[in-house]
Amino acid sequence: MTGVWALLGALAVAGAIGVLLKVREGRISSRSTPSADLPAPVRDLLAPGVTLVQLSTTFCAPCRHAKVVLSDLADRTDGLTHAELDVTNLPEVTTSLGVMRTPTTLALTADGREVLRVGGVPKRDSLLAALRPHLP
């Protein structure tokens, strides 16, 4: 009987963790980080307007979906650019930016100020609404 209770407890904990991760997926958080903190590989990707810098890794399946969403959004929005940075071999970049998962998308102004960050695959409409105040 103890084994059944242990199994039920493990399933409850796993279910709670799954729900928590699903709720956090694609959540947008506003930031205001100065440009001096940006690593050089990220700074090199900045363009006029707002740049969506997608931090990805080689074997990340959600990164491919995020790339499609972000590229499409950038193609359809004036003043918005999308750039992808593979951080598989750049752990110092993720550490300095405080990135814990991929994909993570940073919205950066031309001077390097981080205006928002999205963990996971972004939701197109929510991201566009959050970016509107920062677009020309």
Task: Tell me which fold the domain 28-134 belongs to.
Answer: Glutaredoxin (3.40.30)
User: And the tokens for 67?
Assistant: 């790339």
pTM of the shown model: 0.79
pLDDT given for residue 27 in this prediction: 65
CA angle (113, 40, 106) in 5-degree steps? 40
pLDDT band at 128 (very low <50, low <70, confident <90, very high): very high
Contacts of 116 (CB under 8 A, 6+ apart): 28, 29, 30, 31, 106, 107, 130, 131
Give the chain's mean pLDDT: 87
- Report how far residue 117's alpha carbon sits from residue 6's, in angstroms, rounded to the nearest whole number: 38
pLDDT digits (tens, 9 = 90+) for 74-124: 999 999 999 999 999 999 999 999 999 999 999 999 999 999 999 999 999
Q: Where are the domains of the chain?
A: 28-134
Handedness of CA 52, 55, 87, 72 (dihedral sign): negative
Instruction: Lowest mean pLDDT of 1-15, 17-31, 53-67, 74-88, name the range.
Output: 17-31
